[in-house]
Structure 1
């Protein structure tokens, strides 16, 4: 089985090569993302292995079909970058890693909250410069605050449990609520109530047409004045222009993001010696109450190990003609 591996980084190659010892697949590694110009690299392969910013629209999927590709394996949970209708039409199976160390993402969301609240990132820079002043480093106690969790899958509930351990009151919202999750201090509410009542709102839902720009001018207006918003899920959940307006008006008190709706071409790359032409992220970076990390919430040893194992297991199941719960269908 020959697999064309797109958008690879050194850590991908390390973990997939290590795990592949038990599988014996043949990988062709390409640093470039999969798009209209690079799809030809998949010729003579049986499958493609892709990540969050690789493009799999109808045109590219049709090209993959013409090369004889029968399988698309996503080494991530999200699949909003795949035209599932086209994949089904051309008989290409799509398989993903639905849950890789949910603890990793949940813990990163908590790290963002604590860093932004207690201004650890600013204090670190000050102390290294010999500035030991506490001026403008005031935070707030997380204990006793109301935390709204939007999306109650594995990651969302892991995050909720951690925040409950801080002594927070937890509000949940999900289109498909699981009442079994409700315990003392944890309950489901409508999204409008969650936004109006929460001191901290954390997004843990997938990006779909329905959730695209879930946080927009209207939903930002519902927030408590000075609330914190955290997004470790998908960048497209937040309308960036609306977020900037909410920050400028002081409606939004804090914004922490590990994802960004226009992150393609930015995240996972070292652009320190170049001029960033994206005016929106440049504006966000200028706010003292904004903290951005570059899609690293998943990035733990445990998660990388699981991503490689599940991805290669998905390929093995396909080769052996086995059905899989990890297959994404319409």
Structure 2
């Protein structure tokens, strides 16, 4: 197991003991320099947003490793043709805890809607702590929330936003057959951009939606709108988002994932200071809440990610076909 965080270790050790399987783990990232650590093992469990390259799959093949089990959902960072040509089977964890990510998205929306960042800035920069008329916020129930992607996580977010009284509209290429009256599908993304006070992204990253949120889209959005991204960084053009926030094209953003995330971001033992200029700029803006890809991070999610990932590996090693096999 690569990229194992300290909070995962008790769950890893319990799973190994319960199933009588030897599980070796390391905090390092899986790459060309570290892949040799897996020599002699049957399969690998991994959690990272940096690429799984063709060269890496060539190395796995040379080591006789045919199974890679992700502890996350997304596969956009995997060279799938290279995996197939090297006969490496891949599984993911499609639903480790939709509620964890949905709650985080709603938390970000509440934080931004009530202008908490401006209050914190007043205290941190000016050492003042008092009521200010400029901090007047908006109720979620006063707003229209546009949810893009109505899979497990998107539907969990809709349920929570709806519970707070929001008017919810949604868009998905593959809409659900029933909405249970909780939300209304619109016919185009343009309608989401134009009508929404809050847009919450819950779709996987694909070639088609790379930089889907760019300058042209930010111009279509309300200047009072908030953007929440707990999905994938590549969906939002970072430079265009920065301009949109600074120029007033939109009012605020909740950023849990950003383009080109470093391996240090997912190293629980890293003590390196943040040097990414975009992250540092966003962190100083009162209309932004930026977090280190942590929306998933609850005790329930961590346990499920471990149990499902290692369970998938065990099934593959034993010649079975897991439900979570990635095509």
TM-score (norm 2): 0.92
- Tell me the matched-pair count: 325
1:35, 1:54 within 8 Å by CA — same for their partners in 2? no
Whether 2:239 is the aligned partner of 1:241: answer yes
Instruction: Report the counterpart of residue 31 of structure 2 in structure 1.
Output: 35
Distance 2:269 2:13 in 1: 28
50, 56, 59: which one aligns with 2:52: 56
**Cα RMSD for the two superposed structures:** 2.2
Instruction: Report the counterpart of residue 219 of structure 2 in structure 1.
Output: 221
Residues 1:53 and 1:242: Cα distance change in structure 2 (over 3 Å) = same
Instruction: Report the counterpart of residue 198 of structure 2 in structure 1.
Output: 200
Distance 1:126 1:273 in 2: 28
CA deviations 1:203-241 (Å, max 9, x no partner) are: 000011112212112211211112000011111111100
Distance 1:306 1:185 in 2: 29
Instruction: Report the counterpart of residue 142 of structure 2 in structure 1.
Output: 144
2:143, 2:166 within 8 Å by CA — same for their partners in 1? yes
What displacement does 1:243 show? 0.1
- Gapped runs of 5+ residues in structure 2? none
Instruction: Report the counterpart of residue 279 of structure 1 in structure 2.
Output: 277
SS at match of 1:283: helix
Residues 1:197 and 1:182: Cα distance change in structure 2 (over 3 Å) = farther
255, 258, 261: which one aligns with 1:260: 258
Instruction: Report the counterpart of residue 299 of structure 1 in structure 2.
Output: 297
1:177, 1:188 within 8 Å by CA — same for their partners in 2? no
Structure with the higher helix share, 1 or 2: 2
21, 25, 35: which one aligns with 1:25: 21
Which stretch shifts more, 288-297 or 317-326? 317-326
TM-score (norm 1): 0.92
Instruction: Report the counterpart of residue 87 of structure 2 in structure 1.
Output: 91
SS at match of 2:142: coil
SS at match of 1:149: strand
Instruction: Report the counterpart of residue 45 of structure 1 in structure 2.
Output: 41
Residues 1:20 and 1:295: Cα distance change in structure 2 (over 3 Å) = same
1:6, 1:48 within 8 Å by CA — same for their partners in 2? yes
Whether 2:326 is the aligned partner of 1:328: answer yes
1:145, 1:169 within 8 Å by CA — same for their partners in 2? yes
2:27, 2:267 within 8 Å by CA — same for their partners in 1? no
Residues 1:89 and 1:269: Cα distance change in structure 2 (over 3 Å) = closer
What displacement does 1:201 show? 0.1
Distance 1:185 1:176 in 2: 15
SS at match of 2:185: strand
1:19, 1:309 within 8 Å by CA — same for their partners in 2? yes
Whether 2:109 is the aligned partner of 1:113: answer yes
2:169, 2:186 within 8 Å by CA — same for their partners in 1? yes
What displacement does 1:140 show? 0.9
What displacement does 1:120 show? 3.6
Displacement over 3 Å in runs of 4+: 119-132, 268-277
1:33, 1:53 within 8 Å by CA — same for their partners in 2? no
What displacement does 1:66 show? 0.4
Distance 1:184 1:262 in 2: 35
CA deviations 1:265-314 (Å, max 9, x no partner) are: 35235799755432222222221101011111111111111111111210
SS at match of 2:140: coil
Distance 1:138 1:52 in 2: 39
SS at match of 1:73: strand
- Gapped runs of 5+ residues in structure 1? none
